[in-house]
């Protein structure tokens, strides 16, 4: 049964699609490494040259608001510096895969919008980090750790709350016209005990051939947002399953857990950076931990740490995905719809159903499709037997 479903996926992908899917996996690894190398090169250009320190002096970075300015300018410079990497791994790779439909100008506009949203959220966060380090200029973490943890908690809340805004900035949306489908989804919500906030269809097809769906909070309810690309092909049963899966994440409180774990990794990463930055006092014109000119180094340490630490994050998220699949199968016990959904998702997103195990272990926050199918079949059998 699993074999038959896998067979269907390989057939849907075709030889060409499978080649692209495997290439996409490779690019995932190279993109991740290139990101860290880019951040490292930026630090190398800015810090030992004394440019970061000069910038801080020019912008009055010793002051409270000057520090914010230094953080924002350094973040903007880093975005410009790593733009070629983003161009290749976000834009060019999608074009070569045939999934990207944006013009270069359209992509650049999105990159800018995303950069502005990041500037607000992360800019304020890193500013807060430097203010905390200034307020407690000691190596002893018990002094600044509570304040740092508070700043990270606010960052995680900000990242959560900004999600609907990110979607709105990226895609135009319209309400779902299909009343019958609306009614079906309302019933899935009812069975799960959640207040139904309707469906919005994102006009993603102008930009990508890939498919996706999510739930976003809206006034105490959850709204289903679905890419038009996915809606066109997945069918009502498929969408029902996808929505039930997302409700599973909500029922299991995966979001707070995920943000909590991510926040913990952030705190550890910045504490590591604090230890390293303390050593830089007096080098390259830097003044130690409270100096915003150290931002390129802080970002490098944080990025390198997250490159490794994401293994823990991803392992946790994969386990939550299995749990959400089980939750969905309990409420929409239609294994065939489950399988058809994955055939569509694999074909649209050029997903390798059986990626190399080490790549899945390191970089995937979702289990491979083959493993999800196996788990679903095993689960459905055990339910029927009981
Ligand atoms: Zn999920």
pLDDT per residue over 37-86, tens digit each?
Answer: 999 999 999 999 999 999 999 999 999 999 999 999 999 999 999 999 99
- Measured in Å, residue 85 CA sits from the centre of ligand 1 at 28
> Which string of b and e fits 2-25 if b means at least 16 CB within 10 Å?
eeebbebbbebbeeebbebbeebb
- Measured in Å, residue 291 CA sits from the centre of ligand 1 at 40
The three-class DSSP label of residue 43 is helix
Q: What pLDDT score does 218 carry?
A: 83
For residues 66 and 119, give the distance between their C-alpha atoms in angstroms, rounded to a whole number: 15
For residues 244 and 331, give the distance between their C-alpha atoms in angstroms, rounded to a whole number: 7
- Measured in Å, residue 159 CA sits from the centre of ligand 1 at 18
For residues 141 and 151, give the distance between their C-alpha atoms in angstroms, rounded to a whole number: 15
- Measured in Å, residue 357 CA sits from the centre of ligand 1 at 19
- Measured in Å, residue 317 CA sits from the centre of ligand 1 at 8
Max Cα distance, the chain (Å):
72
- Measured in Å, residue 163 CA sits from the centre of ligand 1 at 16
- Measured in Å, residue 316 CA sits from the centre of ligand 1 at 12
The three-class DSSP label of residue 200 is strand
Radius of gyration for the alpha carbons in the chain, expressed in angstroms and rounded: 23
The three-class DSSP label of residue 237 is helix
Residue 212: phi, psi to the nearest 5? Answer: -160, 165
> Which string of b and e fits 246-272 if b means at least 16 CB within 10 Å?
bbbbbbeebbeebbebbbbbbbebbeb
Residue 248 contacts residue 328 (beta carbons within 8 Å): yes
235: left (phi over 0), alpha (psi -120 to 50) or beta: left
- Measured in Å, residue 121 CA sits from the centre of ligand 1 at 25
- Measured in Å, residue 328 CA sits from the centre of ligand 1 at 10
- Measured in Å, residue 257 CA sits from the centre of ligand 1 at 14
- Measured in Å, residue 9 CA sits from the centre of ligand 1 at 19
Residues lining ion ligand 1 (Cβ < 5 A) are 321, 324
For residues 200 and 222, give the distance between their C-alpha atoms in angstroms, rounded to a whole number: 11
For residues 323 and 140, give the distance between their C-alpha atoms in angstroms, rounded to a whole number: 40
Q: What pLDDT score does 306 carry?
A: 96
Residue 183 CB neighbour total at 10 angstroms? 9
Q: What is the DSSP-derived secondary structure letter of residue 178?
A: -
- Measured in Å, residue 246 CA sits from the centre of ligand 1 at 6
Residue 255 contacts residue 249 (beta carbons within 8 Å): yes
The three-class DSSP label of residue 250 is helix
- Measured in Å, residue 363 CA sits from the centre of ligand 1 at 15
- Measured in Å, residue 366 CA sits from the centre of ligand 1 at 7
**Burial (CB count <10 Å: 0-12, 13-18, 19+), residue 336:** exposed
Q: What is the pLDDT along the chain (386 residues), one digit of tens a residue?
A: 678 888 888 998 899 999 999 999 999 999 999 999 999 999 999 999 999 999 999 999 999 999 999 999 999 999 999 999 999 999 998 998 888 888 999 999 999 998 999 999 999 999 999 999 999 887 778 888 999 999 999 999 999 988 888 888 888 999 888 899 999 999 999 999 999 988 899 998 889 988 888 888 888 899 989 988 888 888 888 999 999 999 999 999 999 999 999 999 999 999 999 999 988 888 999 998 999 999 999 999 999 999 999 999 999 999 999 999 999 999 888 888 888 888 888 888 888 999 999 999 999 999 999 999 999 888 888 876 54
Residues 161-200 have pLDDT tens digits of: 888 888 888 889 998 888 999 999 999 999 999 999 888 9
Token pair for residue 52? 């970061």
- Measured in Å, residue 248 CA sits from the centre of ligand 1 at 8
- Measured in Å, residue 151 CA sits from the centre of ligand 1 at 28
H-helix or E-strand spanning residue 222: strand 221-227
Q: Where are the alpha helices (DSSP H) in the chain?
A: 2-46, 51-59, 64-81, 83-86, 93-97, 104-135, 141-170, 179-192, 228-251, 254-280, 295-331, 335-349, 357-363, 369-385
**Bridge partners, 224 (sequence order):** 199, 215
For residues 328 and 5, give the distance between their C-alpha atoms in angstroms, rounded to a whole number: 18
- Measured in Å, residue 325 CA sits from the centre of ligand 1 at 8
- Measured in Å, residue 240 CA sits from the centre of ligand 1 at 14
Q: Where in the chain is the domain with CATH 3.30.2010.10?
A: 174-250
- Measured in Å, residue 142 CA sits from the centre of ligand 1 at 37
- Measured in Å, residue 152 CA sits from the centre of ligand 1 at 24
- Measured in Å, residue 250 CA sits from the centre of ligand 1 at 10
Q: What pLDDT score does 384 carry?
A: 65
- Measured in Å, residue 245 CA sits from the centre of ligand 1 at 6
Q: For residue 171, what are the CA distances in angstroms to 20, 78, 113, 196, 292? A: 26, 26, 12, 22, 35
Q: What pLDDT score does 64 carry?
A: 93
Residue 151: phi, psi to the nearest 5? Answer: -65, -40
CATH superfamily of 174-250: Metalloproteases ("zincins"), catalytic domain (3.30.2010.10)
């Amino acid at each position: 049964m699993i074999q038959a479903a896998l067979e269907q996926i390989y057939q849907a992908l075709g030889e060409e699609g499978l080649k692209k899917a495997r290439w996409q996996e490779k690019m995932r690894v190279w993109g991740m490494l290139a990101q860290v190398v880019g951040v490292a090169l930026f630090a190398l250009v800015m810090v030992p040259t004394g440019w970061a320190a000069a910038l801080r002096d020019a912008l009055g970075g010793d002051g409270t608001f000057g520090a914010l300015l230094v953080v924002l300018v350094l973040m903007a410079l880093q975005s410009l510096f790593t733009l070629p990497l983003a161009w290749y791994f976000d834009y060019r790779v999608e074009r070569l895969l045939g999934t990207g439909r944006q013009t270069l100008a359209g992509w650049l506009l999105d990159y800018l919008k995303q950069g502005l949203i990041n500037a607000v959220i992360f800019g304020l966060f890193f500013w807060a980090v430097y203010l905390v380090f200034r307020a407690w200029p000691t190596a002893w973490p018990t002094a600044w750790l509570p304040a740092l943890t508070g700043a990270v908690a606010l960052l995680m809340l900000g990242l959560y709350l900004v999600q609907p805004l990110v979607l709105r900035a990226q895609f135009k949306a319209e309400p779902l016209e299909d009343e019958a489908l609306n009614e079906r989804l309302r019933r899935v919500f009812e069975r799960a005990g959640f207040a139904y906030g309707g469906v919005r269809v994102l006009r993603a097809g102008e930009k990508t051939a890939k498919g996706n769906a999510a739930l976003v909070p809206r006034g105490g309810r959850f709204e289903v947002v679905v890419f038009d690309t996915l809606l066109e092909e997945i069918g009502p049963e498929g969408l029902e399953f996808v929505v039930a899966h997302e409700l599973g994440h909500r029922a299991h409180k995966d979001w707070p857990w995920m943000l909590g774990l991510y926040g913990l990794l952030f705190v550890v990463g910045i504490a590591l950076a604090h230890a390293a930055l303390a050593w830089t006092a007096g080098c390259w014109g830097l003044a130690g931990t409270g100096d915003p000119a150290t931002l390129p180094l802080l970002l490098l340490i944080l990025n390198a740490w997250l490159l490794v630490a994401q293994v823990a994050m991803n392992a946790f998220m994969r386990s939550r995905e299995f749990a959400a699949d089980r939750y969905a199968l309990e409420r929409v016990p239609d294994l065939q719809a489950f399988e058809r959904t994955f055939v569509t998702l694999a074909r649209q997103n050029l997903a390798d159903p059986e990626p190399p195990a080490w790549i899945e272990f390191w970089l995937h926050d979702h289990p491979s499709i083959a493993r999800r199918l196996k788990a679903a079949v095993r689960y459905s059998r055990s339910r029927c037997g009981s």
